Amino acid sequence: MKRTGTFILFVLFCTGILISAPRVKIVTEYITPQMLATNSAFTADSTVATGLRTVARGTYVYLRAWNFGDTTSIQSATWTMLVKPGGSTATLAGITGLPTWQKFKADLSGTYQVQVSVTTSSGSKDTTVTIYGSTFVGTGGFDNVPAVFPNCMSCHGTTPQFTAIFDRWKVSKHATTFKSKITAGPTSYGIEQFRVHTLGYNHFNITNNNGFDDKATELGWNWTNYAPPKPANWDSLKNRFPSLVAFANVGCESCHGPGNEHVFGGGDTNMIMKSVDEGNCGKCHDSPHLGPEFAQWKNARHSKVIWSSSFAQNNNGTNNLDNCIRCHDGQGYVNFTKGIGTNTNGKTVASHEMVTCATCHDPHGNTNNASLRNRPAGSDTLANGYHYTNVGSGATCMDCHKSRRNTMTYVNTKITSGNWGPHHNSQADIYLGQNLATFGGAPYRSTQHFTFLQNACVTCHMAPTDTASANKDKVGGHALYLHNEETNYDHLKACQTCHFGKTRFDQFISDADYDGDGNIESWIMETKGSLTRLAMALPPYGVDSVAWQLIGADTLNPLHLNMKKAYINYLSIRDGSEFGMHNAKYVIDALVASRNSIVGIVNVSYEVPQKFELTQNYPNPFNPTTKFKFSLPKETDVTIAVFDITGRVVKVLARDKFTAGKYEVDWNGTNEMNAKIASGVYFYRIVAGSYSDVKKMILLK
């Protein structure tokens, strides 16, 4: 019997039922005004939703079952309302076209608990979520109007942590927009605008959530007595209806959820939300008159970056890859800005949050540009120790879009997988002309973008778009892309400030034929061509692909270190996907130097010599290596080969197109099979266009 049980467990293990069972969570989904207007799945009784688990009484709550444990899809989902307040008539209902969604109306204040039983091809899993229906209590303490219990600041106003947050908020646009609009806003400003500029004002087409409109009715304040906007409006409201001030503007509960249950539930933090979820912003900032920012974000890669099953995790969602969570999980980056790293067990808990508005922007306000989050001291430093300054708001981008380690750390680490090296995130290094591997030759050249662009990445990638509707949500702004694949449009608005008349990236023409195809093309095409040439020089040789297994195993090759350096440069440039446009000369020089290094050739100077020249090798005689130099006054096809005294080719050191400059060749006394050759007299010859020269050398052992 024991053996039978063991066998069953073994079968279950092999079939993945034990180790591949789904990890399921219930996601509280947001619904924005645009989604309501454009998605037929949402019917007339649907309402705007924040995606919080603490919601205004009378609000529709939208739930989605999500299997984040593996890639298997949900085959079935059975939903059950386990708990609801006494007297509640709340019931779960499906949504046509959204098979993994459910909705219900939190019709009363109190606790709702919903369960879902999910089945996938890898197994079954039950999970629950708790929702709190509540009403608003107001912020309090704003604009010299005292906080009165149960206002948020009537309790939190004595805590330094919260007062510091409150002090930033009270001068932010969230805290002052309503005040400024009713005093000096447009004549069209009125009740419709109150929906987004006050606390709980009819956001959900209901009454009795104790929001601004309910309090105004209760106190007798009516906009018709104030319209149109005029300077005295705010003072009149503040002096005659001071308790209404706590509900004016965009206050704490606008983003954290209504606080009545939290206040009278003993301060239970489960009854108030702390989330970087995009729904908080989308409920207001996803409407046509407020600009395309939210729509652009949804088209950006940021909205698709999330800590998921693509990263190895334990079943509790923890992982010791703290650096990964820092940028692939929205809350992970927020924690980074606050100096929060791993927890006590050495692991960081992934929140499974996308990189959203509140990931980069501090919703409480900040004094820096665009209310970006403060960043920890020392973060303005690349992994190679280079400290960058004067990059403005682009520093926030660079926190993630840079290599995690010094290049030599990667190079000196044994290659054991295809994840070796920096992946997709060396853009800051390249932009600043730093941290690509070098080979002891002349320094790589660098363009001057970082000296001219005040806000670095932001200047170009977030340049506002005034293009047609086909492009306006796909490029620039919070979309961040500079190319729309669908329309083949290049967004060069920022570039045109310096590069007059340029409308496409293919109009930025290189200064030489670096990829050796006989044509001087755009920097992008020269970079892509140079990547291909480098790939063909790396193992497997002569093929436009690179096998990390072969590079990692090639420890007997005397040029192995250079090969790994070349590989790390290949990965950094290829995976960065900008193909030289951040720093074209730096990238090209690194690719050319990488390819040359594999055969022991180093560009020692970009200075253009006056004539062709081949120097005598040194030392001579030699053992085991020798060096010689050659100079090219112009770009030329070059062949360099070693011969024995019979005229037989021992090894071809170079057969390629080289740009003008001075080069050094390091030969290790090996043949084409990288085997050591015998002592004797040998000759080396260069053929560069019409120029040729031969010199003698002696190998002694």
Helices marked H in 31-103: 33-38
Kindly tell me if the per-residue pLDDT of 558 is higher than 70. no
- pLDDT value of residue 118: 92
- The more confidently predicted of residues 129 and 377 is 129
Q: How confident is the model at residue 177 (pLDDT cuts 50, 70, 90)?
A: very high
- The more confidently predicted of residues 188 and 387 is 387
Q: Across residues 361-390, what is the average pLDDT? A: 91
**Dihedral sign computed on CA atoms, order 227, 229, 232, 233:** positive
Kindly tell me if the per-residue pLDDT of 416 is higher than 60. yes
Q: How confident is the model at residue 62 (pLDDT cuts 50, 70, 90)?
A: very high
* Distances in whole angstroms, Cα of residue 603 to Cα of each of 567, 585, 590, 594: 18, 14, 10, 10
Q: Across residues 91-104, what is the average pLDDT? A: 94
Q: How confident is the model at residue 323 (pLDDT cuts 50, 70, 90)?
A: low
Compute, in degrees rounded to 10, the torsion defined by CA atoms 489, 495, 501, 507: -60
How do residues 459-515 score in pLDDT, each as one tens digit?
Answer: 999 999 877 788 988 999 999 999 999 999 999 999 998 899 999 999 999 988 888
- pLDDT value of residue 141: 92
Element (H, E) at 638: strand 636-644
- The more confidently predicted of residues 11 and 315 is 315
CA gap 162, 181 in Å, rounded: 27
- pLDDT value of residue 557: 55
Kindly tell me if the per-residue pLDDT of 34 is higher than 90. no
Q: Across residues 180-201, what is the average pLDDT? A: 87
Q: Across residues 338-361, what is the average pLDDT? A: 73
DSSP 249: S
> Among the listed ranges 141-145, 262-266, 399-403, 595-599, which one has the minimum average pLDDT value?
595-599
Q: How confident is the model at residue 531 (pLDDT cuts 50, 70, 90)?
A: very high
- Long-range Cβ pairs for the range 628-631 (8 Å, 24+): 628/664, 628/665, 628/667, 628/684, 628/695, 629/604, 629/662, 629/663, 629/664, 629/665, 630/662, 630/663, 630/665, 630/686, 630/688, 631/661, 631/662, 631/663
Full DSSP string of 179-210: HHHHHHS-TT-SHHHHHHHBSSSSTTS-S-S-
CA gap 246, 210 in Å, rounded: 11
How do residues 210-232 score in pLDDT, each as one tens digit?
Answer: 999 999 989 999 998 888 999 99
CA gap 190, 233 in Å, rounded: 13
Contact 261, 271 (CB under 8 A): yes
How do residues 429-463 score in pLDDT, each as one tens digit?
Answer: 999 999 999 988 888 989 888 888 989 999 999 99
- The more confidently predicted of residues 568 and 368 is 568
Q: How confident is the model at residue 8 (pLDDT cuts 50, 70, 90)?
A: very low
How do residues 186-196 score in pLDDT, each as one tens digit?
Answer: 988 888 888 88
What are the residues whose beta carbons fall under 8 Å from the beta carbon of 410, sequence distance 6 or more?
A: 420, 421, 422, 568
Residue percentage of the chain with pLDDT more than 70: 90
How do residues 151-169 score in pLDDT, each as one tens digit?
Answer: 999 999 988 989 999 999 9
For the ranges 194-208, 238-252, 464-478, the maximum mean pLDDT occurs at 238-252
Q: Across residues 82-94, what is the average pLDDT? A: 96
Dmax (CA) of the chain? 108
- pLDDT value of residue 129: 95
* Distances in whole angstroms, Cα of residue 342 to Cα of each of 137, 323, 336, 349: 35, 10, 10, 8
Contact 538, 553 (CB under 8 A): no
Helices marked H in 94-211: 152-156, 160-169, 173-184, 191-197
CA gap 612, 252 in Å, rounded: 73
- pLDDT value of residue 205: 54
How do residues 116-128 score in pLDDT, each as one tens digit?
Answer: 999 988 888 899 9
Q: Across residues 244-248, what is the average pLDDT? A: 94
- pLDDT value of residue 16: 37
Considering the chain, what is the average pLDDT of its residues?
87
- pLDDT value of residue 319: 54
Kindly tell me if the per-residue pLDDT of 517 is higher than 70. yes
Check whether the bond before 228 is cis (ω within 30° of 0): yes
What are the residues whose beta carbons fall under 8 Å from the beta carbon of 511, sequence distance 6 or more?
A: 520
**Dihedral sign computed on CA atoms, order 499, 500, 506, 512:** negative
Kindly tell me if the per-residue pLDDT of 311 is higher than 70. no
- pLDDT value of residue 3: 42
Contact 561, 412 (CB under 8 A): no
Kindly tell me if the per-residue pLDDT of 341 is higher than 90. no
- pLDDT value of residue 154: 93
How do residues 668-701 score in pLDDT, each as one tens digit?
Answer: 898 887 789 999 999 999 999 999 999 999 999 8
In angstroms and rounded to an integer, the radius of gyration of the C-alpha atoms of the chain is 32
